[in-house]
Structure 1
Amino acid sequence: MTEQQALQERYADSLMNTFGPPKLVLTRGEGAHVWDADGKEYVDLLGGIAVNALGHAHPALVEAVTTQLSTLGHISNFFTSAPQVELAERLLAFAGAEGKAFFANSGAEANEAAFKLTRRTERTHVVVAEGGFHGRTMGALALTSKQAYRAPFEPLPGHVEFVPYGDEAALAAAVTDDTAAVLLEPIQGEAGVVVAPEGYLAAARRVADEHGALLWFDEVQSGMGRTGSWYAHLPSGVVPDVITLAKGLGGGFPIGAVLGLGRAADLFDPGNHGTTFGGNPVACAAALAVVRTIESEGLLAHAVEAGDRLRAGLIADPRVTEVRGEGLLIGLDLVSEHAAEVTAAAMAHGYIVNNPTPRRIRLAPPLVLGTADVDAFLAAWPRILDDAGVS
């Protein structure tokens, strides 16, 4: 029995079966590469599901966390720290609007907080797009349309209405004067990287304004430079009332954030919400290191360049019918339902990808992914499809 097999058996005996058997036991990483317990090397094209913005073991992130933890670690929400204040200022500046931030520990927690924030409008109705994914806690799950996730835990917090993503008419018909918020992902990640149609976000802004509702963008997966902009909605010119962030924000260190812009900034009063660990100095120092490194290494522009190169190479194979996304958030459709087989074949070739649906593959690699790795993957791509039985 290999070390990897032994650890997988111990995993099965000691951890709850919430994720199924782990595909690999990983032991270390560097940049966009990881190694398993048997020493095999892989190019990580999933990035911890869009989390590892700087890849693995980036010196700036390691130094920031180490230095901060050696100085000041946890302080609770009775106090603040310079990293917390600076991070809030930077995230709000990227949004281009006056507002305030609340820090949590994950995307689900950020969405839970934002869900509660919408209740402070004294309305309860929330309109959400089908295909969206907003988390698995009870409140976040109530906002997630996939019935397989919802059914075992119903009844969920109510007055949530789902409409087809990208359908302006359906959205306009659903929003009323009782609507607290409209919740959308500018790019739906879990659905297989589905990009909002041209003008859809602007239409959502108009509809929300007509009825006095908040417009809430979930940028947990699409934010923090992944699409080549700090937030995926920025190129649309639309300014939302609420933005939720996590994943790439901490580069692998757990942190989430809610940005309340305009009137949404002051909806919470003391005691309305809280967190013990949210906004702790170490998490905020990690996020600041991510922000500074994205800036200093020109990773916004690199995400666009590397993403364009990947999309052009992937669509060149006729067995790929469509490639979508922005920057380094990429989804593609196959001619047949072989996505699971493609994921397995890619792993055998030394590449980690994801199959969110039977026909779709998702890539969300570190923003530091090098051109050599892009070209090597594209060279291997036809053989991966061959091995997966895609024809």
Structure 2
Amino acid sequence: MTLLRTLVPLLLALGLTGCAIVLIQPYSPEQRLQLALQRGDIVLVREIMTTLPANEDDPDRAALRAWLERAERHMEQAMLMQAAGHLRREQWTQAQASYDHGLAVRPDSEILRAARARALKEQQEHLQHLRVRLLLSQGRALASLKPLYAQILRADPDDPSVQQASAQAQQDAGQVAEGLLQLGLSAMDEADLALAVEALSLSQALVPDPAAEAALQSAQAAQTRQQALERRAHQAQLQAQWAQRTQVLFSNFEGAMEAGDLPAARRHLLALEQAQPRDATVRRLRRELAKAVDAEVTLGLETGRRLYLDGKIPEALETWRNLLELRPDHPDLQAHINRAERALESLRRLEPGGPGATGTP
């Protein structure tokens, strides 16, 4: 109470003499630190910690510093994720606010600074893209409106609203044409020839100009050369891809032949013939496969005959059917299959309960 009686006259005197009022902080740094911790105010905690005297031997102070470091890292990641969510929704202002909040907590974070810089760059590029689209849209709209207004005025020259709209369109056309000309020239400098041709074409359509016409011709010539180079590069890429695919097919064919998988070898050879129909190596492989197939079919026919004569008709039929993929047009093979199928059908009829069986009297 004595201190209060002393301070009140002093404060009144300072106020009456025009001096600034001195605010008395009622809490100690330790008390303010506890209040900041209770509120979860990491920024204030960091600020108060810098004012406290260093005491490396204080375990509570060391634990608090460790907690503060963990909290700052957690906040850094949280703000990065929050900003990324805003960017996905094109909420650029909110994303920057998230980065700024994170940097207020962790001002030395290189990750946050780099992410904020990338976001600003993306925002500027996005804005530039939108402005280009807007200018092109204005050019297309005016290019459509001008002849339409002219047609209406030829039919009704005294329509005041159309006269006013036509005059406004003519005025706007000059401004938009100039913007399109500058856009086209800038696009040429950046080698964006498609954009350059579109912008310069619209500029010339709105307001014919020798400078725009010369730039347009230059851009069209450069675009023609670029397209020719792209076609040649694409053709070379296709040829390289075909060469690589052909090599793979050759390897697959050789592997199938070594494994004795003649059906697979036949499939790979058919693909090779489509890729290289006049290649001498492909013709040699065709002869090699034909010899192997002839030998396989001859052996399979004989194996099937032995099985058939031994009464193993299902096994014989399966053997002959497996050869059909190699020689689907082989006359003897198809005849053997037909005979075996008829024999099996006859046997099924003779089985008890079969369609041809007779009951006992």
Q: Please tell me the TM-score bracket, short chain as reference.
A: under 0.3
The answer to which structure has the higher strand fraction is: 1
Task: Give the structure-1-normalised TM-score.
Answer: 0.15
Task: Give the structure-2-normalised TM-score.
Answer: 0.15
Larger Rg: 2
The answer to which structure has the higher helix fraction is: 2
